[in-house]
């Protein structure tokens, strides 16, 4: 299948990061590389990462997207798996990514939502049903395929090579995962794999303002994207394109073209 790099952007999240790195060290299929992108932390983020054997990349431009993009650029793996510092992947998370990426349709991206931990049951319900549920339902319908959830996804390095100069990687005012999903090129498929299980902190949803800020940012992101690649144009171009089936260790020009229309959305294939 090839090598797998895990990229974790982090800003002053040393305690959460330690738990995330512990979970990665307990994987049934260990990552080939772990990159922590220190986005200007003043706590022990870099020390925690180094102590766990991770590679530390420093990105001075603040923002999840700039930090994530720096990590993707630095990674050496064939697959680029993405977590947040407060993500806690299930023990078979990397193995599941490897399994799903090796399936016959060979998607460009696999993703799933998260299982929220911490805070109280009301906050977790809001995070799960309103935020994540709404994201996959509403944004998925607009995109015509599953959106990408930033705390839990993996992408082929070859796909990133085609996307890195299209996305708004230097902007901190757009959702990085929604931006990446929007710029998935015709023929690139995104699959939601419900077996990719990751715990995600519910702390951003402690207050109504926290939820509202994320929703406002989503609308702003959609406004930015729609001006550059209008939704109807995007849907039409993607529907007309053949599906690219990515071969292991292939360059972007080595993908195999399958003469088939892209589906509106997918769930995991049966084992």
pLDDT higher than threshold 60 for residue 185: yes
Range list of β-strands (E), 2-117: 4-10, 33-38, 55-58, 79-82, 88-89, 109-111, 115-117
Share of the chain above pLDDT 70, in %: 89
Q: What tokens were used for 76? A: 């050496």
User: Using one digit for the tens of pLDDT, what is the confidence trace for 228-269?
Assistant: 999 999 999 998 877 765 544 443 333 333 333 333 334 433
Q: What tokens were used for 169? A: 């990687």
On the 0-12 / 13-18 / 19+ scale of CB atoms within 10 A, 262 is: buried
Q: What tokens were used for 177? A: 């995962």
Of 175, 186, 185, 256, residue with least CA distance to 222:
175
User: Using one digit for the tens of pLDDT, what is the confidence trace for 82-133?
Assistant: 999 999 999 999 999 999 999 988 999 999 999 888 877 888 888 888 888 8
Look over the chain and give the mean of its residue pLDDT values, rounded to a whole number. Answer: 88
The Cα 129–Cα 245 span in angstroms is 33
Residue 108: count of CB within 10 angstroms of its CB: 25
Spell out the domains of the chain, with CATH numbers in brackets: 4-258 (3.90.550.10)
The predicted structure's pLDDT at residue 130? 80
């Amino acid at each position: 299948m090839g090598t797998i790099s895990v990229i974790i952007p982090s800003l002053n999240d040393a305690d959460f990061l330690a738990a995330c790195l512990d979970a990665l060290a307990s994987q049934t299929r260990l990552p080939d590389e772990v990159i922590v992108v220190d986005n200007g932390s003043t706590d022990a983020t870099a020390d925690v990462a180094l102590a766990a054997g991770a590679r530390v990349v420093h990105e001075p431009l603040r923002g999840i997207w700039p930090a994530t993009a720096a990590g993707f650029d630095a990674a050496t793996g064939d697959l680029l798996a993405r977590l947040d510092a407060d993500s806690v992947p299930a023990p078979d998370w990397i193995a599941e990514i490897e399994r799903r990426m090796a399936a016959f349709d060979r998607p460009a991206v696999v993703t799933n939502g998260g299982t929220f931990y911490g805070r109280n049951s009301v906050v977790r319900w809001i995070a799960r049903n309103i935020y994540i549920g709404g994201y996959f339902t509403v944004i998925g319908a607009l995109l015509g395929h599953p959106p990408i959830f930033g705390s839990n996804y993996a992408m082929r390095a070859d796909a990133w090579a085609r996307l890195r100069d299209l996305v708004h990687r230097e902007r901190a005012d757009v959702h990085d995962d929604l931006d990446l999903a929007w710029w998935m090129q015709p023929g690139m498929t995104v699959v939601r794999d419900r077996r990719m299980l990751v715990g995600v902190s519910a702390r951003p949803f402690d207050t109504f303002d926290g939820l509202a800020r994320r929703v406002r940012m989503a609308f702003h992101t959609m406004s930015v994207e729609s001006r550059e690649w209008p939704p109807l144009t995007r849907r039409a171009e993607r529907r007309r394109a053949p599906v690219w089936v990515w071969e292991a260790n292939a360059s972007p020009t080595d993908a195999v073209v399958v003469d088939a229309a892209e589906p509106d959305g997918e769930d995991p294939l049966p084992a």
